[in-house]
Each structure stands twice: as C-alpha cells, then as structure tokens.
Amino acid sequence: MKATWNGQTLAESSDTIVVEGNHYFPESSLAKEHFKPSDTHTTCGWKGVASYYDVVAGEQVNKDAAWFYPAPKDAAKNITNYVAFWKGVEVS
C-alpha cells in the first residue's frame, strides 16, 4: 500500500493494518520529512485518544491529515506505532 498527497509519497508498506476501512501504516514506513506534529487530539470510544500530524508537501500543508494512537486501549493495541490518513491523502 502507498499513501500519497500533492505528488509526494508519504508512506509505503506491505504491512498495513485495516481498521474501520482505514489502512494504518507502520510508523517506520513514513517519509518523516512530510510530517509535522499537530496539537489536535480526538477520542475514540474503543481505540482511545488520537494524536495528529500535519502533512507537508512542498509549500502545501494538509492540517491533521494523518492520525495515530500513541497509547491505544487494549482493543486497539495492534495499531500501536501505526499511522492512518484522510483529508485527500490517496491510499492505493
């Protein structure tokens, strides 16, 4: 699987985990230069508290386009150190 946005490859892996229709990529597969920590957090009832990254490609910033669970609840432990995408990021 490959995640791309604004002509840049953000992540590529054959080891994604699909949860609720979203591919979670191993953190080690991320092109780190395209990720900037965000102050945004949301809460999922069964996964826990999510943190976000802004995705940066060239001069463009896609706010909160990637999310992850730094300390997921027990039901979602399998996505520890995995990152998912939305907001126009193409996963194919």
Average pLDDT of the chain?
Answer: 98
pLDDT for 20-40, tens place per residue?
Answer: 999 999 999 999 999 999 999
Tally of domains in the chain: 1
Tokens 């490959």 belong to which residue? 2
Q: Please tell me the predicted confidence (pLDDT) of residue 10.
A: 98
Residue 44, strand partner residues: 48
The whole-number pLDDT of residue 90 equals 98
Identify the domain containing residue 73 by its residue range. 2-91
pTM: 0.96
User: Where residue 31 sits, what CATH number does that domain have?
Assistant: 2.170.150.40
Look at residue 43 in the predicted model and tell me its pLDDT.
98
Segments in the chain below pLDDT 50: none
